A = this chain, B = another copy of it.
Amino acid sequence: MASIKDIAKITGLSLATVSRVFNNSPSVSPKTRSKVLDAAKQLDYHPNQMAAALRSGKSKIIGVIVPEVNNYFFSSIINGIEKKLTDLGYRIIIAQSHESAENEQKALQSFLNLNVDGILMSISKKTTDYALFEKIISDQLPIVFFDRIPKLAEINSVTLDDYKGAYIATEHLIEGGCKHLIHVAGDSKVSIFKKRKKGFLDALAKHKHPVNTYTVSELSSNPKKDLELINTLFQLHPTIDGIFVHGDESSLYLMNLLQSLKISIPKQLKLIGFGNANYSELVQPPLSSIDQRCDEMGAIAATILLKHLTKKQTMPQKEILSPKLIIRQSSAN
């Protein structure tokens, strides 16, 4: 591995001058610059980023932590992040928390040991101790949270407006003529699912929708039980004509149950999910959904981080993305 020392030796210049060339210092004559560059090519020289990082304090590495990388939502976010940062010479280092607070802490600490220039993360479901986050923030190490964020006042964050997403989904069903809606909710302990439920209810209230609306709080994922549940529900309320489900996977599951009950979608009943999963447009009928704009979420988080890295901004920034309604056949008129 050739170093600037070798180049200095060959060209007869000093280490400093050679170093300046690679740092695009203006104060170096064109002649010496090209002399150095020639030597570099000849020796196949490549700067040692570790050494530069150690000396300069800037590693050009960004740490990213997500609960699971193997998940369309998070991998899309990572894609957005990578695209944004890579052209600017940053590299991203990735860790998964697997929903464990301990893994998360360890990953975070190892990022610090590696002198990352910044951190982008979505916290695990089990994270309750924010001490390390606060330390990072007070140490002025830029950190941006996305999607799942800690309840702290002064943080950079990018989130989706889940409430609004649920609201527009519900409104869409109402505007499509649905008179009797139900909501299949997710685990009420999870804050995003609570918000989605509230969005649903508020949309109903706003549109003075008859109050004969029902909430199947959670499906059991036991097909037999769920089928029975749905069946009973429809026997009690044959007028149900629209369902907003908290997520696309559950939507699909429900869609299959409904189809086995010979309920036709969207003729007899309109269905809309949440998340716009990769498969939602592939199923039959294609599933309407709320797009979470994952790529953008990643890109925006990265953009905020960049502003802090370059000191163009010091105040924390809270970004709340508006979800996008994706209308497909499952809720078409």
Contacts and interface: CB of A to CB of B under 8 A. Distances in A.
Interface of A: 46-51, 53-54, 59, 61, 68-72, 75-76, 78-79, 82-83, 86, 89, 91-96, 103, 107, 109-110, 112-115, 249, 252-253, 255-256, 259, 277-279, 282-284, 295
Contacts of A50: 50, 53-54, 59, 114-115
Contacts of A95: 82, 86, 91
A107 B295 CA distance: 21
29 contacts: A46-B113, A48-B113, A50-B54, A50-B114, A50-B115, A54-B54, A61-B93, A61-B114, A68-B79, A69-B69, A69-B75, A69-B78, A69-B82, A71-B75, A72-B72, A75-B75, A78-B94, A79-B96, A82-B95, A82-B96, A86-B95, A86-B107, A92-B94, A93-B93, A93-B94, A252-B279, A259-B284, A277-B279, A278-B279
A96 B256 CA distance: 36
A291 B158 CA distance: 36
Contacts of A48: 54, 113, 115
Contact of A70 (B46, B79, B91, B114): B79
A79 B284 CA distance: 30
A295 B93 CA distance: 19
Contacts of A283: 252, 279, 282-284
Contact of A282 (B78, B82, B252): B252
Contacts of A82: 69, 94-96
A93 B54 CA distance: 18
A46 B114 contact: no
For the complex of A and B, the 9 pairs showing the least CB-CB separation, nearest first, are A279-B279, A70-B79, A75-B75, A49-B113, A93-B93, A252-B282, A70-B75, A50-B54, A49-B114
A49 B110 contact: yes
Contacts of A256: 282, 284
A259 to B, nearest CB: 6
A115 B49 contact: yes
A75 B53 CA distance: 29
A255 to B, nearest CB: 8
Contact of A93 (B70, B91, B110): B91
Contacts of A94: 78, 82, 92-94
Contacts of A282: 249, 252-253, 256, 279, 283
